[in-house]
């Protein structure tokens, strides 16, 4: 009988690209996207945000609708429209609570209607 761990390990071996985009424990959503979008160009969906959610915050089922309501309809738009960094350099991540999709305090959530 295969355990979930076996299946995960297998798919990692099969798809090495998955290892590059794997969220790191303790890394917040915004820092994760900032790091990974450089290596795994946005494909026009919230693919990476979903991957982060599934790996670290599986109970955050409303994540996509929250991001979309802030203008983030794909991974790069999340960084353009939803979460803005407070500094040029957003490394290292200050850390996220496990199970939470809240970014660390290097980021703030842009309010609708701000700017422009
Ligand atoms: Zn995009
Ligand atoms: Zn962070």
Q: Rounded distance, CA 25 to CA 111, Å? A: 28
% of the chain with per-residue pLDDT over 90: 62
pLDDT digits (tens, 9 = 90+) for 9-38: 666 555 666 677 889 989 999 999 999 998
- Domain assignment present for 1: no
- Domain assignment present for 7: no
| Spacing, Cα 90 to ligand 2 middle (Å) | 7
- 39 lies in which domain range? 23-109
Across the range 94-112, mean pLDDT stands at 90
Classify 110 as helix, strand or coil. Answer: coil
pLDDT digits (tens, 9 = 90+) for 89-100: 878 999 998 899
Q: Which long-range contacts (CB under 8 A, 24 or more apart) does 31-34 make?
A: 31/90, 31/91, 31/92, 31/93, 31/96, 31/103, 31/104, 31/106, 31/107, 32/93, 33/75, 33/78, 33/79, 33/83, 34/79, 34/85, 34/90
Q: Which residues surround ligand 2, an ion (CB under 5 A)?
A: 28, 31, 93, 104
- Domain assignment present for 17: no
- Domain assignment present for 30: yes
| Spacing, Cα 26 to ligand 2 middle (Å) | 8
Q: Which whole-number Å values give the CA distances from 106 to 7, 54, 82, in the listed order?
A: 35, 23, 14
Tell me what pLDDT residue 44 has.
96
Tell me what pLDDT residue 9 has.
61
- Domain assignment present for 33: yes
Q: How many domains are contained in the chain? A: 1
- Domain assignment present for 63: yes
- Domain assignment present for 6: no
Identify whether the C-beta of residue 106 lies closer than 8 Å to the C-beta of residue 31.
Answer: yes
- Domain assignment present for 116: no
Among all bound ligands, the one having the nearest atom to the CA of 80 is 1
């Amino acid at each position: 009988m295969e355990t979930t761990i076996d299946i995960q390990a297998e798919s990692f071996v099969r798809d090495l690209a998955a290892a590059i985009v794997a969220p790191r424990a303790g890394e917040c959503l915004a820092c994760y996207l900032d790091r990974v979008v450089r290596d795994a160009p946005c494909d026009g969906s919230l693919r990476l945000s979903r991957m982060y959610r599934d790996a670290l915050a599986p109970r955050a089922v409303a994540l996509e609708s929250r991001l979309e309501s802030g203008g983030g309809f794909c991974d790069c738009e999340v960084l353009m429209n939803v979460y803005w960094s407070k500094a040029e350099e957003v490394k290292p991540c200050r850390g996220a609570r496990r199970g939470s999709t809240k970014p660390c305090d290097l980021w703030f959530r842009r309010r609708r209607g701000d700017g422009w």
